[in-house]
Amino acid sequence: MTIGGEDLKTAQTGTVGRSIPRLEAAAKVAGRAEYVHNLQLPGMLHGKIFRSPIAHGRIKRVDVSAARAVAGVHRVVTGEDVRAIVADPHYGPAFHDQPILAFEKVRYAGEPVAVVLASDPHAAEEAAQLIDVQYEALPAVFDEVEAMTSKAVVHEVLRPAGAFPDLRHLQGRKNTNVALDFHLRRGDAGGAFSRADRVFEHTFHTQQVLHVPLEPFVSAAEPGEGSVTIHTASKSPSFVRVEVARLLGWPENRVRVKVPYLGGGFGAKLYIKLEALVTVLALLTRRPVKIALTMEEQFYTLTRHAASLRIKSGVTKEGRITARECEVWWNGGAYADIGPRVTQKSGFTAPGPYDIENVSIDSYALYTNLPPAGALRGFGIPQLVWAYESHTDMIARELAMDPVEFRRRNILRDGRPQATGTVMKDAAIEKVLERLAARMEWKKPFERGSGTRRRGRGIAIGFKASISPTTSVAIVNLYADGSCALYCSTVDMGQGSDTAMAQIAAEVLGIPVEAITVVHPDTDVTPYDMATLGSRSTYHMGNAVRRAAEDARDKLLAAAREAGLPAETTPIAEVFRRKYGMQAGNIVGTGSFIPAYTPTDHDTGQSPNVTPFWMVGGTGAEVEVDTETGRVRVTRLVNVADVGKPVNPRIVETQLSGAAVMQLGFTLFEKMQFDGGQVTNASLAEYKIPGMRDIPVMENEAVDGAERGGPFGAKGVGETGTFSVSPAIANAIEDAVGVRLMSLPLTPEAVYRALRAKQGKPLDD
Closest separation in Å from C-beta 502 to a second copy: 10
Length of the chain: 765
Query: Counting contacts by CB under 8 A, is residue 601 touching a second copy?
Result: no
Q: Determine the interface stretch with a second copy among 245-253, 417-425, 675-683, 756-764 (rule: CB under 8 A).
A: 245-253
Nearer of residues 199 and 588 to a second copy, judged by Cβ: 588
Query: Counting contacts by CB under 8 A, is residue 676 touching a second copy?
Result: no
CA distance 391 to 113: 43
Q: Is 557 exposed, middle or buried (0-12, 13-18, 19+ CB in 10 A)?
A: middle
Which residue of 251, 604, 683, 759 would you call a contact of a second copy, by CB under 8 A? 251
93 cis-preceded (ω within 30 degrees of 0): no
Nearer of residues 403 and 527 to a second copy, judged by Cβ: 527
Asked whether 236 and 194 are in contact (CB, 8 A), the reply is no
Which residue of 151, 225, 693, 760 would you call a contact of a second copy, by CB under 8 A? 225
Asked whether 465 and 598 are in contact (CB, 8 A), the reply is no
Is 719 noted as a catalytic residue in this protein?
yes
Residue list 37-56, contact with a second copy (CB under 8 A): 40, 42
Residue list 551-570, contact with a second copy (CB under 8 A): none
Which residue of 294, 590, 598, 657 would you call a contact of a second copy, by CB under 8 A? 590
Nearer of residues 157 and 584 to a second copy, judged by Cβ: 584
Query: Counting contacts by CB under 8 A, is residue 470 touching a second copy?
Result: yes
Closest separation in Å from C-beta 245 to a second copy: 7
Closest separation in Å from C-beta 85 to a second copy: 19
| DSSP label at residue 514 | G
CA distance 475 to 522: 13
User: CA of 617: how far to CAs of 441, 638, 725, in Å?
Assistant: 18, 10, 10
Closest separation in Å from C-beta 34 to a second copy: 11
Q: Determine the interface stretch with a second copy among 58-66, 73-81, 122-130, 582-590 (rule: CB under 8 A).
A: 582-590
Which residue of 203, 586, 609, 635 would you call a contact of a second copy, by CB under 8 A? 586
Query: Counting contacts by CB under 8 A, is residue 61 touching a second copy?
Result: no
Residue list 423-462, contact with a second copy (CB under 8 A): none
Closest separation in Å from C-beta 494 to a second copy: 17
Which residue of 5, 415, 581, 691 would you call a contact of a second copy, by CB under 8 A? 581
Asked whether 737 and 676 are in contact (CB, 8 A), the reply is no
Residue list 145-164, contact with a second copy (CB under 8 A): 163-164
Comparing C-alpha atoms, which of 500, 447, 458, 433 is closest to residue 701? 433
Catalytic residue among 111, 550, 719, 734: 719
Range list of H helices, 447-571: 497-509, 537-562
Nearer of residues 110 and 527 to a second copy, judged by Cβ: 527
Which residue of 32, 61, 151, 317 would you call a contact of a second copy, by CB under 8 A? 32
Closest separation in Å from C-beta 273 to a second copy: 19
Contacting residues for 43 by C-beta, under 8 A, at least 6 apart: 287, 288
Query: Counting contacts by CB under 8 A, is residue 226 touching a second copy?
Result: yes
Q: Read out DSSP for 213-250?
A: -SS--EEEEEE-SS-EEEEE--S-HHHHHHHHHHHHT-
Comparing C-alpha atoms, which of 319, 346, 230 is closest to residue 611? 346
The pattern of x and - marking residues 485 through 514 that bind a second copy according to CB under 8 A reads x-x--------------------------x
Closest separation in Å from C-beta 558 to a second copy: 12
User: CA of 723: how far to CAs of 152, 189, 199, 324, 352, in Å?
Assistant: 34, 26, 25, 20, 11
Comparing C-alpha atoms, which of 210, 37, 298 is closest to residue 690? 210
Which residue of 530, 623, 640, 679 would you call a contact of a second copy, by CB under 8 A? 530
Closest separation in Å from C-beta 552 to a second copy: 10
Asked whether 751 and 739 are in contact (CB, 8 A), the reply is yes
Which residue of 473, 488, 610, 679 would you call a contact of a second copy, by CB under 8 A? 473
How many angstroms separate the first and last alpha carbons of the chain?
77
Comparing C-alpha atoms, which of 375, 291, 373 is closest to residue 108? 373
Q: Is 163 exposed, middle or buried (0-12, 13-18, 19+ CB in 10 A)?
A: exposed
Nearer of residues 442 and 580 to a second copy, judged by Cβ: 580
Range list of H helices, 598-724: 649-668
Closest separation in Å from C-beta 470 to a second copy: 6
Range list of H helices, 442-516: 497-509
CA distance 583 to 298: 52
Residue list 159-188, contact with a second copy (CB under 8 A): 163-165
Query: Counting contacts by CB under 8 A, is residue 517 touching a second copy?
Result: yes
User: Which residues are identified as catalytic?
Assistant: 719
Residues at the contact surface with a second copy, assessed by CB under 8 A = 4, 26-27, 30, 32, 40, 42, 163-165, 224-226, 238-239, 242, 245, 251-254, 256, 469-471, 473, 475, 477, 479-485, 487, 514-517, 519, 522, 524-525, 527-528, 530, 580-590, 592, 594, 597
